[in-house]
Amino acid sequence: MIRLFRHYIPKSVFILGVLETGVLLASIWAGLVLRYADLGFKPPRLSNNLPEVVTYVAVIYLSMLAVGLYHRDAYRDLRMAVTRLIIAFVVSFVVLSVIFFLYPDVTIWRSIFAISFFLAFAGVLIARVGFYALVDRGAFKRRLLVLGAGERAWRIQELEQEKLGDSFQCVAFIRMGEAEKAVKNAHERATINSLLAFAREHNIDEIVTAMEERRGSMPVRELLDCKFAGLVTTDFTSFMERETGKVDLASLNPSWLIYSDGNGRGRIDHLLKRGIDILASLVLLVFTLPILIVTALLVKLTSPGPVFYRQERTGQYGKPFMLLKFRSMTADAEKDGVPQWARKGDSRVTPVGGVIRLTRIDEIPQIFNVLKGDMSFVGPRPERPFFVDTLASEIAYYPERHHVKPGITGWAQLNYPYGASVEDAKQKLQYDLYYIKNYSIFLDMLIGIQTVRVVLFPDGAR
């Protein structure tokens, strides 16, 4: 894993991104050379066309990122990758056409654009095929030695078997206590004289401490020897955070949160995030105004009741505020006064409401909540006070999500489908805690760009 601005990125994905950026650069250079040669001109330097090159590469790369081509599912499935690659190039074609029309100074000749675009698509596709071949051969996997053979060690083994462990291979497990029986074929601790010698013999890259009980079983001296010999040593909670993109509640303890890096936000971070929220809100209001008007008319004409739906939600530090959304349910959806989870195939949802929920259009009015300062664009989704009280009593660390402003979109929304139960809320909390702990403007931008994938492929919408 590569940690960039406190966010973990799989090394394989980082390498793929660099490779495909190179392909995009090569495609526009080839387009320039081929077209100039056809006209009998001397090929130009890329530096002479820097604005055009940067615009071309940035738009196509961000389009690929936005539709989820660097998401775990897409970089494992070639068929899905091809489908999303086509969508990414259609999106980038439209965006580049608009940019070239509005800003003639960065326009590329249509002939060069056509050649480069075709070469880019073919080049990225070939790069993907080669990348999948390397992934299948385990070229990017780290060799792990897991200390422990209990429930935690079994979860690491399960993670590998679910193919979420594309970045690691469990070479061996060592049973550190008699009660650890979840992992079969684990080596007995008593049979290993030197942990360092065992690690070297098996070409281990990293040691993960996953004992159920550390007191009396942690080989501190030997782990220090391994660390000073150049082996990476990681505790179970940090390992799960890094590999899954979420904080593992089952193994979480207060000291890990207190002493781990991250969690801190300075005054500059707050001001910068607020400034981005205001600027993005104003820009989005301008671009979504036609959608807002059409949706308001459709909601009003197709079902009795108000256009907007106001609902009390819990904000930062537990302060309540009124969330604004387009009404997607019947006006008497909660006529008995008892809050209810939204259900799949909910009969309370109107025909228009079903469409605007699926496309997330019902969330657009929350831009006004962002402008007001009750919300941010990126953060944990705000929950209703009734459910907050219930969830806080059943899920440890649930109140910690209120240390930041709630958001229209968030890390949990990208990685987990719509939640409508206590278990779903628990799963989403693990992603929210990861976001809070590893917050950066970079992560906010990454989430904002990838929200396009959630809109285009709304599998979890209700």
Structure tokens at 210: 């996953």
pLDDT over 70 (residue 164): no
For residue 34, give the amino acid letter.
L
pLDDT at residue 456, rounded to an integer? 81
For the stretch 294-332, pLDDT in tens is: 999 999 998 888 999 899 999 999 999 999 999 988 876
DSSP 1: -
Q: Which CATH architecture has domain 142-244?
A: 3-Layer(aba) Sandwich (3.40)
pLDDT over 70 (residue 335): no
pLDDT over 90 (residue 417): no
User: For the packed helices 267-302 and 351-358, what is the interaxial angle rounded to 10 degrees?
Assistant: 150
Give per-residue burial for 310-327: e unless 16+ CB within 10 Å, then b. Answer: eeebbbbeeeebebbbbb
* DSSP assignment string, 281-302: HHHHHHHHHHHHHHHHHHHHHH
Q: What's the mean pLDDT when you consider all of the chain? A: 88
Calculate ∠ Cα 457-417-88, nearest 5°: 25
Confidence of residue 263 (pLDDT cuts 50, 70, 90): low
**Are residues 24 and 63 in contact, defined by beta-carbon separation less than 8 angstroms?**
no
pLDDT over 90 (residue 338): no
pLDDT over 80 (residue 333): no
Which of helix, strand or coil describes residue 143?
A: strand
Confidence of residue 343 (pLDDT cuts 50, 70, 90): low
Least confident of 126-140, 142-156, 334-348: 334-348
Q: Any bridge partners for residue 378, and if so which? A: 409
Q: Which of 6-15, 258-267, 314-323 has the highest mean pLDDT?
A: 314-323
Calculate ∠ Cα 48-52-58, nearest 5°: 125
Provide the residue ranges of all domains of the chain, joining segments of one domain with +: 2-136, 142-244, 267-332+339-456
For the stretch 176-206, pLDDT in tens is: 988 899 999 999 999 999 999 999 999 999 9
* DSSP assignment string, 310-369: EEEEE-GGG-EEEEEEE--B-TTTTTTS------TT-TTB-HHHHHHHHTTGGGTTHHHH
CB atoms within 10 A of CB 458: 15
For residue 341, give the amino acid letter.
W
Give per-residue burial for 2-40: e unless 16+ CB within 10 Å, then b. Answer: eeeeebbbbebbeebbeebeebbbebbbbbbbebeeeee
Q: Is 382 left (phi over 0), alpha (psi -120 to 50) or beta?
A: beta
pLDDT over 80 (residue 460): no
Least confident of 139-153, 249-263, 312-326, 369-383: 249-263
pLDDT over 70 (residue 405): yes
Structure tokens at 233: 């040593």
pLDDT at residue 209, rounded to an integer? 95
Which of helix, strand or coil describes residue 393?
A: helix
pLDDT at residue 264, rounded to an integer? 60
Residues in the chain: 462
pLDDT at residue 459, rounded to an integer? 58
Long-range contacts of 115-120 (CB under 8 A, 24+ apart): 115/30, 115/31, 115/34, 115/35, 116/27, 116/28, 116/30, 116/31, 116/32, 116/56, 117/27, 117/89, 117/93, 119/26, 119/27, 119/30, 119/31, 120/23, 120/24, 120/27, 120/28, 120/60, 120/89
Instruction: Report pTM.
Output: 0.88
For the stretch 27-44, pLDDT in tens is: 999 988 888 888 888 877
Mean pLDDT on 265-273: 84
**Are residues 351 and 302 in contact, defined by beta-carbon separation less than 8 angstroms?**
yes
pLDDT at residue 208, rounded to an integer? 96
CA 103, 104, 107, 109 dihedral sign is positive
Does 145 or 218 have the greater pLDDT score? 145
The percentage of the chain sitting over the pLDDT mark of 70, rounded to a whole number, equals 93
Mean pLDDT on 405-429: 88
Confidence of residue 416 (pLDDT cuts 50, 70, 90): confident
Strands (E), 182-254: 187-188, 206-209, 232-235
C-alpha 21/C-alpha 350 separation (Å) is: 44
